[in-house]
Amino acid sequence: MSLSSLSFDLASLQAAYREGTTTVREVIAEALRRSAADTHHAYIHVLSAAEVEPYLARLDGVDPASLPLYGVPFAIKDNIDLAQVPTTAACPEFAYTPAESAFVVRQLLAAGAVPVGKTNLDQFATGLNGTRSPYGACQNPHNPAFISGGSSSGSGVAVAKGYVTFALGTDTAGSGRVPASFNGLIGLKPTLGLLSAWGVLPACRSVETPSILALTAADAQAVLGVAAAFDEADAYSRPAQPLGVDFSAGPFRFGVPRDKDLAFFGNEAAAALFADAVKRLESLGGTAVTVDLTPFLEVAKLLYEGPWVAERYVAIQGFIDAQPDAVFPPVRGIIEGGRGKTAAEAFAGAYKLKALRRVCDRVWNDVDCLLTPTAGTVYRIDEMQADPIRLNANLGRYTNFVNLLDQCAVAVPAGVLASGDAKGLPWGVTLGAPAHKDLALLRLADRFHRALGGSLGATGIDVSATPACIGLPGGDMGAAGSGTVRVAVCGAHLSGLPLNHQLTSRGARLVDSPACAPEYRFYALSGGPVQRPGMVRVAEGGAAIAMEVWEVPTALFGSFVAGIPAPLGIGKVKLADGSEVPGFICEGQGIAGATDITSFGGWRAWLAAGAPR
């Protein structure tokens, strides 16, 4: 095998190791060669052979199948600690050498991944463009005149160019999503606390998280499954929670901003790609629901115009007070703006955010996820440097609110710009959802990505050549499970009928409309006020009855069952395909005085025949 042509996506690497066509030392040597040849300012430090050796030595004699990330090269944003390698945050005067790696890095190392280098970034992770670094402005790998996106700029370039399989970034205001959009990648902003921030130099500690940039959603899911682990040392760490209803396979409802809330800053090609993205989600089983984005945009303003900018000052207070001239002027202006924030302003901001979040959270009553552009447009490096504050603010229009509202989000490629100065550059959209819906977003992003087609980053490798994102990952994410129970209903709980709200108000989702096995008699029970049917299993003379199967969050299933009156209860219902699911059954004595309606084949048919509701 020619190592120079080997794709570093996870599936290709695992296949090569499994088939014995290459070794981990050969792969990492190739990753170092590619990284050292970079001309796009992706790296601040590429590890030497001597620095990499301890990570390789620990894999000697290890079965590749025994570690989920065996021999996988990865890069680390240089505000995240790697033991014995300087952390600079793109400020040489600030640099320190940690004795221990960040918790999230240690999780990856334990899974067999091998670090290749520390990547460039907007200094102190302050910016969304990748030009604010003394190590050089990161250049877009598809056209070096354009920005790569930031602040995890080098991480995006390293993955897009195929130097590594994945890279760690951070995300405070979109720093892990904007580079994904401009580089043709998947960018995961996880639920806050799933990835420990111990050993990460913070920008805004209360809303910031490490992020994952990868070629595919499947790769991002695999990394998340390893990296997500509770860390007692991180006060913001929290265990993974059950996924709940998995809307990724459809049907699902997705929010789309009103036309007047959308801004593409003159980029008509981006506007066209967003319209295509809406249609693509609809083709995957989604129903578009128009959403008022105004409260979300109000939240977004708080991140830089409100008191949260004081967190940036707190993070490096001693350094910037002592050496202000060591900080890039746009970065210094933003961070020093936090110096004068008062406790009164902090409380006022917190109160405003709390009120706005109450309004924003109402959207989840109507939709499963939200679709927005990742960034409305992309800029050339020279125009960004000429107008750094205004243009950077434009880049954060659709990203800033996600962190403050405790949402998770996945940036996914949406196509290539067909016209304008940026013709030929990738451009992406973002899928957002409430906390702990990370896996559902990744799976939906994967379906979206595959429906789009095209190459992975700037590698030229087609997404169709890689495996789909399915199942649950390992680690804490897998242990959390899906967190849902399927329940079969046959009467007043059917879609559109009087008791269906008892399901929908609990976030339940309709997943199938099967018939039961032909082993039941069906009755209209006496009593009310809402009339209900009863299904009784019989040894002979049964019939198939039309049903619906709903997926209900486990945490809310108990309250649903508690409201079921006798003689009904939840038992196992056999479906026509032979499978069994929990569902409504009736005690035998409950049919006294009931009307046998088996011949109608279902509750709706009986209602349609003129029965009282």
- Catalytic choice (101, 175, 181, 211): 175
The phi-psi region of residue 347 (left if phi > 0; otherwise alpha if psi is between -120 and 50; otherwise beta) is: alpha
Q: Residue 406, class by beta-carbon neighbours within 10 Å (0-12 exposed, 13-18 middle, 19+ buried)?
A: middle
Active site residue 175: yes
Distance CA 86, CA 98 (A): 7
The phi-psi region of residue 188 (left if phi > 0; otherwise alpha if psi is between -120 and 50; otherwise beta) is: beta
Angle between helical axes of 388-395 and 329-336 (0-180°, round to 10): 70
- Catalytic choice (77, 118, 161, 437): 77
CA torsion sign for 438, 444, 447, 449 is negative
- Catalytic choice (35, 101, 133, 151): 151
Tokens representing residue 241 in the block: 């929670």
Distance CA 390, CA 128 (A): 11
Q: What is the 3-state secondary structure (H, E, C) of 404-468?
A: HCCEEEEEEEEEECCCCCCCCCEEEEEEEEECCCHHHHHHHHHHHHHHHCCECCCCCCEHHHCCC
Beta strands in 303-385 (DSSP E): 369-373
Half-sphere exposure of 553 (CA within 13 A, CB side): 18
Q: What is the 3-state secondary structure (H, E, C) of 87-104?
A: ECCCCHHHCECCCCCCHH
Active site residue 352: no
Terminus-to-terminus CA distance in the chain, angstroms? 70
Other beta carbons within 10 angstroms of residue 332's beta carbon come to 17
CB 226 within 8 A of CB 475: yes
Catalytic residues: 77, 151, 175
